[in-house]
Every structure is written in C-alpha cells, then in structure tokens.
A and B are shown apart, each in its own frame.
Chain A
Amino acid sequence: MKRHLLEAADLDRADATLVLDTAGQIESALAGREVKKLPTLRGRTVVNLFYEDSTRTRISFELAAKRLSADVINFSAKGSSVSKGESLKDTALTLEAMGSDAIVIRHQASGAPHRLAQWVKGSVVNAGDGTHEHPTQALLDAYTIRQRLGRLDGVRVVLVGDVLHSRVARSNVWLLSTLGAEVTLVAPPTLLPVGVGSWPVQVSYDLDAVLSKADVVMMLRVQAERMNASFFPSAREYSRRYGLDARRMAVLPDDAIVMHPGPMNRGMEIAAEVADSARSTIVDQVGNGVSVRMAVLYLLLGGAPE
C-alpha cells in the first residue's frame, strides 16, 4: 500500500483488493464482540480536517479511527483559524507539529489532498476533494457490491446522474473498472464531462435502455440548483428522464441492487419506494463505510494485516 490514499485512480487491483479483504477481516474480527474495538492504532493520532460540512463522512472516519484505538482530532474549517485566513499549508504544518500521523481531508478544491501530501510527512487520506475523487466511498461501494453479489469481475454497474460534478462517480469509474466491473454512465449530456470518451466506460443518455442488463444501479445525488445553470430544464423533467422509480426498478434483473452514496433527494433522482426496497443497499453502504475506512487507516498506519 502507498503512503497516502489520494485517488482511486492510482489504486491497482492488488491494493484495492487488499483494502476490501482487510475490511472483511476486520468485520469478522469484530463480529459478536462486546467491545467493538481493536488496539492496532493505539498511540497514533488521526486528524479529520474538514473544510466542507459532511457530518456522515466525518463521523464514519471518526468511528473508524476510534475503533482502531487511535486518538482522533476533528478540525472543522468553521470557527477555526482557517476562517481567519490561514492557508492550507500552514494549517497542515501546524497539525503535523502537534503530532498527527494521518490527516483525513475533505476540501472543496479538487487536488487539495495532493497539495497536502506534498507538504506533510504523515499519511493523507482523501475524504472527498471538490469534483475530483472520493476514494473511500468507491471502496465501500465496491465492498458492498462484492458482499451482495459475491463478485466484482464482470458485474455490470450503471451510474446515473450528475457525473460532471461528482467525485463519487469519478472514484467509482476508476476503482470498479480496475476491479473488473463493466461501468455504464447514464446522464443528460450536460452533466457528463467533455473528455468522458477517454474513460473506461460506456455512456448512454437513455436510462430505460440499460436497466434490463444492470446488476447494480448507482444513483448519484443531483442538486436542484443545477437547473438554474441550465444543466437541465426542471427538477421534474430530470426526474422523469433520469430518476429511478418503481416502474423502472421493475425492469431490473431479479438480483440487481440499487445503491446511493447519500444524502438522497427522495423524489428527485430516487423514489422513496426504491430507496426503501429490498434491493436498496443504502443502509449497508453506511455500515460498510466504517469497516472500509478502518481498513484504509489500518493499512496506511498499522502495517500488514495479521
């Protein structure tokens, strides 16, 4: 494993598989235990450096670090020296001087974790940077798919929604294709990046045309504000053309699953009866997120698995 986890694009198949396997081992090790805690990272310090509000991702990382017995510091950009104009570099060097071993960073600027990794000696984990990547989300998605379907090789994954602005989509495209899945992106052309042709994916503008051959449908959050910039005419039209409702869900193969990274816009990209159906893995994804993030911290900071 490398020193940092900056993007799914630079994980090879062996490293990605190691993370998933380790997450599985951690889960079994903790299963049935009364105290859900491993001593592995005792004495190590993990900083959650969050420049964007993201309660669920921060809590997931915090829980992961605490279950490995690490000391955790949550550093939120709001109400800190950052709001007084301190640069990312100064903040990073300050945290490191206080003895942080790993920095988990969420930032609105694409590439901020890469910059951080150039300045600090400890490990950097990307917890979502701008519209670039969110690698642990893709790892937990891959883990969830493998858990439900038993494999990733040859699994047909359809990603639907705002690919242009989605770091989840980018990370999933690279990770899932590295792990052998066949990825199809479905979106209005306005929400696909120019240059998507160079990605290892199929592209379709027609959701109905691809659903019957999907093993996994992953819905991406679409912000209604996008319609103000004319990415689509209205929330209603978006929902009609690209939303997953019960009618569309019925077209899916019997064992296909429906995923969503959250937070969901019920009624926009996903209907309530789909989100709450047996196909939905949305709650599993949240739980698996903690195991996968434990695996990442463990591999970056703790050495080889037992």
Chain B
Amino acid sequence: MSTILIKGARPYGEDAVDIRIEDGRIAAIGPGLAADGAQVVDAAGLVALPGLVDLHTHLREPGREDAETVETGSRAAALGGFTAVHAMANTDPVADTAGVVEQVWRLGQEAGLVDVVPVGAVTVGLRGERLAELGAMADSAARVRVFSDDGHCVADPALMRRALEYVKALDGVVAQHAEEPRLTVGAQMNEGDRSARLGLVGWPAAAEEAVIARDVLLAGHVGARLHVCHVSTAGSVDILRWAKSRGVQVTAEVTPHHLLLTDECAETYDPVFKVNPPLRSDADVQALRAGLADGTIDAVATDHAPHAVEDKESEWASARPGMLGLEQALSIVVQTMVEPGLLDWRGVADRMSVRPAAIGRLDGHGRPLAVGEPANLLLLDPTHRATVDPAALASRSRNSPYAGRELPGRVVATFLRGAATVMDGKAQK
C-alpha cells in the first residue's frame, strides 16, 4: 500500500503539521516530516478531521436503483468527507434478514469508497407487527448493531419495549423514527402558521415529542440503549436533555437540513422541500443548534434520501418526502455551527465522527487523528465557497434542497484506511 505525506494540514483546525500515512494507518504526525518517496499531498491551510460517519443514509439498493445505488451513494458520501455510512433498512426487499443486510454490506465492500454499514429493520417488512431476526443480522457478515424501521415509527409501545430489551444482548441500539402515526395522518408539513395558510395538512411537533417521551421512559425502565433519528423540534431537545439528566442511555441525531431550513421553504409548494419529519420553525432550528452545541444532540446524520425526478416533480401532496444530504452535510455544519461559533473543529469531529461511530459500535472509525490510528480522515478547505448545482452531484438523484445556495467548505480529500477515495475534490473511483 502506498505511503502518503500530507503537508501542512491543520488537525482539528489547530497548528499546521505533516501527517504520514503508511499501511493504512497514521504513521507519524509532526512538523517537517521527510517525503522519503511518499506521495505528497499539499494541504496548506486545510483542516484535517477524522473521516465522517453517517448514522442515517438511504442508498435505495436493492429496489430503487434508479434513484441511488450503494456505489453512487458511496461516492456521494466520500465526496462529503464520509468514511462510513449506515444504510437504512427501508429498501425493497426490506433489510430485515441476514441475506439482505449481507448483500448491502457486500455491495459496499465492492464499491470500496466508504464502509457501508447496513441498518437492520426492527420489525418484519417494517410493518410494526413482530420483530425481525435481529440476532441473525447482528451475527451476519454485516455485523448489524443499529436497528431501525426508519420511515415508519415503531408505534406499538409493547413492541418497542421488546425491541429495546432484545437488542441489549446484541450490543445493539434501536434507532427510532419518532412519529405517532395517528397524529400525522396525511401530514404534509410542520403544523403552524404556515400550514394553516398554505392549506397543507399539519405534522404537529407533539407527534414526535410524544414518542420520544414514551421511548426514553421505556429505555430507562429496561436499561437499554435508544437512539432517536432526525430530531426536529425544540420540545424534543428539551425531552432529551431531561432524559440524559436522569441517566437514560439515549442518543440523538439532527439532520443538516433541520439545522438550516425552515417551513418557510414550503411556501413555494416545491416538494424538493418536503421531508419527514418536516422542516420546522426558526425557533426549532435555533433549539436544535443549541442542542447540538451542548451535546444534548449527539450527532449530525444526513437522512440522505434520493428520489427519482418523477417522485418530486409533482404536486406537493403526491411527492415523496426526503432530500439529498451527503455531499453538503459538512458545509451546512460549517455554516450553521462553526461560523457562528457554536462548535469548534473538535466539536465537529465529535458530532460527525466520534459519537456516531460509538453509537453504531464501529471499529476503526471515529478515532482521533493520532499515530497508530486507522488513516480515516478528510481534508477540508473551510474558506472555499461555492454554489450548489444539483446536476454536478455524484448522487444519482437531483433532489437537493440547497440548489443555488452558496455554502462554505469544500472537501478536498478523503482517505479510507490510507487510500484516497477523494483527491482534489474528485472521487478516485
């Protein structure tokens, strides 16, 4: 394996050093390291961070390869600075057996751009009726640790309790899509002033908060780990803060879009802004940023949700919910958290790499930039600004809510176990 010398990078935005990568590991860090025949990467002014880990990605394969494949999604992830992504289970067929999760895992290995970590469904067919074979998925080659019916809530409280208990034996975690389904029948957008005026059925914050409140109580009661997907409301942040103060083993994620966008976007009726949970109010956005800053929210997770053109180029109500996120996630975090001073670069590494890797029980990811560690890292130019052009994205889909927006930060290079998956901002395969 080739030897690489990264010259003049700033680990966590701190003093510039050289980083030498050998045999997939960080072999040396320090000023003025000699090239010694290594491939030299000029990283003057670039911030070095551990490779990002996404807890929440929809790669659409198997089933909707017209919208995304494991390979195209992996490429988008690498370009976004990720070295590992969790692939959600709502594929067709559903990832509710060892066979399907192994297929996804193997496709990820073949693509070789990021570690694709399959998420297993909690219930058979995501139907919320009975548990899928969670143990078989955990014991498979895919080593599943995160289980989720994402897209659907495990709404039955007794079933949720059993799932939380059962995965304790697997060192697993249930990642809940918190949405009380009886409160969101036909829901299209955040319920509030704007839904009232636009005549779109409202998705009340209470439908999310009620499930989170229930689930933290259940997790505390049975002593299990709970992870809450895509937290979107100020009330949810309050409940999580309360639960953590009581010692409940709960973790939570927020998406880049919920850190940046509000339900004002729905006024265009352009379904590129339709997502579940929906974009909320400005007060919610501020509470989510504060929650991420103080650690109440553990991780940024993209909920990257590619959709074919025909599933978005329609009336709002008939469009599918979801938006792209992998390639802009770090830029959004820079804009919403780093530039306003809410997170420093170590904070970014913590929320986008260290903690998500710990939640997913991933070996070799979320590790510090230190000698002897796996060389999973990215180089970011934080001053670069560019306008998002959906046509230029690596994802097979084009449903980016950031089209035409100027965002800061460009991932110049990504390394997966010492191999460059991205160099000069271009995917290497």
Contacts and interface: CB of A to CB of B under 8 A. Distances in A.
Contact of B200 (A110, A115, A194): A110
A89 interface: yes
From B197, B200, B270, B314, residue with most partner A Cβ within 10 Å: B197
Interface in B192-231: 192-202, 204
Contacts of B268: 114
Interface in B232-279: 268-270
B315 A193 contact: no
Contact of A110 (B193, B204, B269, B270): B269
Contacts of A109: 315-318
A88 interface: yes
23 contacts: A9-B197, A89-B313, A89-B314, A107-B315, A109-B315, A110-B199, A110-B200, A110-B269, A111-B199, A111-B315, A111-B316, A112-B315, A115-B269, A115-B315, A115-B316, A129-B199, A194-B195, A194-B196, A194-B202, A195-B191, A197-B193, A198-B197, A199-B196
A212 interface: no
A73 interface: no
Interface of A: 9, 87-89, 107-112, 114-115, 118, 129-133, 167, 170, 193-199
A194 B315 contact: no
A118 B268 CA distance: 10
A111 B198 contact: yes
A248 to B, nearest CB: 27
B316 A110 contact: yes
Contacts of A89: 313-314
B269 A131 contact: no
B36 interface: no
B156 interface: no
Nearest to A169: B199
A193 B196 CA distance: 5
A25 to B, nearest CB: 32
B196 A110 contact: no
A193 B200 contact: no
B278 to A, nearest CB: 14
B202 A110 contact: no
A118 B315 CA distance: 11
Nearest to B315: A109
CB-CB nearest 6 A-B residue pairs: A111-B269, A132-B199, A195-B196, A109-B315, A193-B196, A131-B199
A43 B299 CA distance: 61
Contact of B195 (A115, A133, A195): A195
A103 to B, nearest CB: 14
Contacts of A195: 191-197, 202
A114 B269 contact: yes
Contacts of A111: 198-200, 269, 315-317
